[in-house]
Structure 1
Amino acid sequence: MDADWIEHRRPDDGERVGWMYPVGDGFVAIDLLGRPQTDVVDWMRAEETLDDLGLGYLADPYELRLDVGSWLRVRIAEVSPAGIRVKKDEWGDTNATQLFYPVSFPVTADRLRPLSR
């Protein structure tokens, strides 16, 4: 996370939904995974983008690239600028061993990507 990033929280409940990064006279909206969600836009558009994006994408399935080059289906367990932890998707099996993997922040598409449908 860059020191210039401005935290944005939802007005309804104060939950952080991302940041706005100043660029010239505008801003780039950044989601909680550290991914840009806009090109350079005005302040209002950046806020609207983050508010509209919300948090739902964090519950979606993702794929994690393992060191051996293969991809593993995972779910996001924790997100912060200090790092991201994902866990192997066990399809709701509560008896499964929880396998967590650290992912650096911001994520890169060659390490963590939304699951292809």
Structure 2
Amino acid sequence: MIPESWFPALRPDDGETVGYLDLVGEEFQPYDLLGRPCGDPADYTDAEDRLSALGLAYLARRWTFAVEDHPEPIAVVISEVSRESVVVRSDDPGYHRDFGTPFTLPLPVDRSVLWENPEGKGPRFTQAVPGR
């Protein structure tokens, strides 16, 4: 779960939560919605601007997930994010379970379990599966 001491950073134009800020001394540490630090602490405006510039597009990318029941990490897409967890769904033809199999991970995300796939442009299979 994202710590209660972290407060939401809102995008100015629509009020959408784009990350979190944590007071560290006299500066603010920005974190994305997965609880990953976004650079070094900064003054409030700079930290909030950094998260606004980051936006939410990274959530639509393909990710890599080290799933316990498969020898190799698999491709996944993010389907839900809350303050408590992130739900990813399988999006890998080499995985032995159904496309869209959900996995719920606690936040902040452990980078050794879930990481961005720099070659993944976006979901391939789960968008084509009705009701997933």
Same fold (TM over 0.5): yes
Residue matched to 1:86:
88
State the TM-score, normalizing by the size of structure 1: 0.89
**Structure 1 residues 65 and 90: alpha-carbon distance in aligned structure 2, compared to 1, 3 A threshold:** closer
Which among 78, 99, 102 is matched to residue 100 of structure 1? 102
Structure 2 spans left out of the alignment, 5+ residues: 120-132
Normalized per residue, the structure richer in strand is 1
Letter in 2 for 1:44: T
Residue matched to 2:60:
59
Measure how far apart 1:97 and its partner are.
4.7
Matched residue count:
113
- 5 Å matches for 1:39-78? 39-68=40-69, 69-78=71-80
Letter in 1 for 2:27: G
Residue matched to 1:36:
37
Identity %: 35
- Give the ranges of 4+ consecutive aligned residues of structure 1 lying more than 2 Å apart after TM superposition: none
Letter in 1 for 2:31: I
Deviations 1:29-80 (A, max 9, x none): 0100010102111111101100000000000110010114520100000001
Structure 1 spans left out of the alignment, 5+ residues: none
Question: Aligned with 1:102: secondary structure?
Answer: strand
